[in-house]
Amino acid sequence: MPLMPQPGKEISYPRILRCGDRAIGIEFSDAISETANLEVLSLDASLTAEPIDGVLETIPTYRSLTVIYDPRKIGGAALGEDLMQRATRGGAIEHTGRLLEFPVFYGGEHQADLDELAEMKNMTVAEVIAMHASAEYRVYMIGFAPGFAYLGGLPEVLHTPRLAVPRQRIEAGAIGIGGRQSSINSVPGPSGWRFLGRTPFKLFDATRAEPFLVKAGDRIRFHGIDADEAKDLDGQVAAGTAELKEIAE
Amino acid sequence: MTALLTILKHGPLMTVQDGGRYGYRSRGVSTSGAVDRDAHAIANALVGNDPAAAAIEFALMGGSFSADRDVLVAVTGGACSIEIDGQPVSTWESHILKAGETLSVGGLQGSVWGYVAISGGITIAPVLGSRSTHLRTGVGGVDGKSLATGDTLPIGSTAKLSPRTLGTPYLRGSGPIQIVPGPQEDYFDEIAWRAFLTQPFTVTQSRDRMAMVLDGPKTEAFKGHDIVSDATVLGSIQVPGSGKPIVLTADGQTTGGYPKIATVISSDLTRLAQMPAGSRFMFRAISADMAEELFIRAEERLVAVIGDLRKKP
């Protein structure tokens, strides 16, 4: 049989992942870790600083960087070697992201989920909100839909399995929990996550000068606002005058 | 005044597609563009457009169209009956559609994705650098939606209308669908791999612009069917817990949490996507080096076809 992969082999990281004839991945870990994600973002940054001819796009995810290339300009084998060299050459890995503060109207159309979550956790709704708003989250990756942010840093108490049956439509801006991850929904669509509230800010708006609000590596804090404040902000967001607060460090 | 194309009758999943939306996969934006890039590029070339110009894609059933100015039209993607004001004309060549005449496009026989290119191209406003429609997220196209009867689309201006035909035939190849194992090839043991490479798969009805679900031997991942989400690409073969592989096509999402046993090579993905439901085929594993070579050759073949269009007598 041709090219039968060898299961059970010891895996050492980083390693190369073959993704067909136009993409190659460098994987740093099999689990979610901030270190692995920083390595991914650092390798990605190196490709911006010192580009490789033939590289078309890069996709940083939790623990791997996938590089799309043009085989007419560079072969995957040579590209993989270059990427492995960069991945293993060490050096300081810097935290680069911004620290952003998102206002959240907890409850609202998501009150039922919030109530259920409180019951499951044997907490009051106020305690669930306080717990969610106390943490600092990190954008591990953008994926699944335009601008959709996968966040790490959800307090363990709030880790909750996804719904068995996804719901058909969850609005943009909804703040969700899926397993050990948190998220900010970016476009309306089906979802099996549980939701605590919503932010008036739009993670994706193709008509904006900068269509994407956050990027991998950014850190996020949430703070609660009431229904009136949310409504005011909705208006400002629609008018293009709302500004997301960046916290200086 | 801008010339307009009117959709007199729409077919299912009829959308505006161009060469694709590039540079935004890291931001969660799918590439989109024509499912059958070659057929789309050839249709455009036949009407004198850039191969990546925006044209109309349809699934299985065509529709009817008219323009308020004389234009060139070409229909590609597969065999189907087309008529201009009731007169049968041929696919895979361009024809003059006079202002007010009706182009009727029937059902595709033996393929799934068809293209209608109009000289001047469809000139709706691009979103993130592309006019392609991504239905699930509502990006691009006409309000991110599929086309409906009564829609009017702006079309670009054209010089002289000279109908063309192919000098070099466009052939799609045959035989097994070739794959490059990975990125999660080690989630599958020898038994799973043996079944995957030696038993036939069937194309099911569950398919759209995003993905196609296959039926065949149950493909089991001994390491489990959940991974920490990582990037997907066009041609990624995801294997969820059902054991039924899902092949990602033009509108495929950018990341996913299922292990990917392999990637369909670029030059075979179109052939697979064009197989009607019920088609049976085998997978064959090849090296990434070989797959790159086949991609380069396929690109050269397309350039040769587009470079050898002949003026019709």
| Residues of chain A neighbouring B185 (CB-CB closer than 8 A) | 5
Closest CA to B60 of B94, B24, B106, B16: B106
Q: Which of 151-210 (B) contact A at CB < 8 A?
A: 180-186, 188-190, 193-194, 197
- CA angle B185–A20–A23, rounded 5-degree value: 115
A1–B194 CB contact, under 8 Å = yes
Class of the A99-246 domain?
A: mainly beta
Domain ranges of chain B: 3-164, 177-302
pLDDT at A93 over 80: no
Q: What is the ipTM of this complex?
A: 0.95
CA distance A114 to B191: 45
Inform me whether the C-beta atom of residue A245 falls under 8 Å from chain B C-beta atoms. Answer: no
Inform me whether the C-beta atom of residue B282 falls under 8 Å from chain A C-beta atoms. Answer: no
**Nearest residue of A to residue B235, measured between CA atoms:** A20
In the predicted model, residues of chain B with pLDDT beneath 50 are none
Query: What pLDDT score was predicted for residue B304?
Result: 97
Distance from CA of A204 to the nearest CA of B (A): 9
CA distance B108 to B83: 14
Please report where in the chains the tokens 């070579």 appear, as a residue.
B293
> Which one of A18, A19, A21, A73 makes the best mutation probe of the B interface by having the most chain B beta carbons within 10 Å?
A21
Residues forming a β-bridge with B260: B238
Tokens standing for B3?
A: 């010339």
Same fold, A15-88 and A99-246: no
pLDDT in tens, A151-196: 999 999 999 988 878 888 899 999 999 888 899 999 998 888 899 9
Inform me whether the C-beta atom of residue B249 falls under 8 Å from chain A C-beta atoms. Answer: no
Looking at CATH, the fold of the domain delimited by B177-302 is given as Cyclophilin (2.40.100)
End-to-end CA distance of chain B: 32
Query: What pLDDT score was predicted for residue A189?
Result: 85
Architecture of domain A15-88: 2-Layer Sandwich (3.30)
Domain ranges of chain A: 15-88, 99-246
Please report where in the chains the tokens 């460090």 appear, as a residue.
A249
Whole-number average pLDDT of chain B: 96
pLDDT at A7 over 80: no
Q: Which of A8-17, A111-120, A200-209 has the lowest mean pLDDT?
A: A8-17
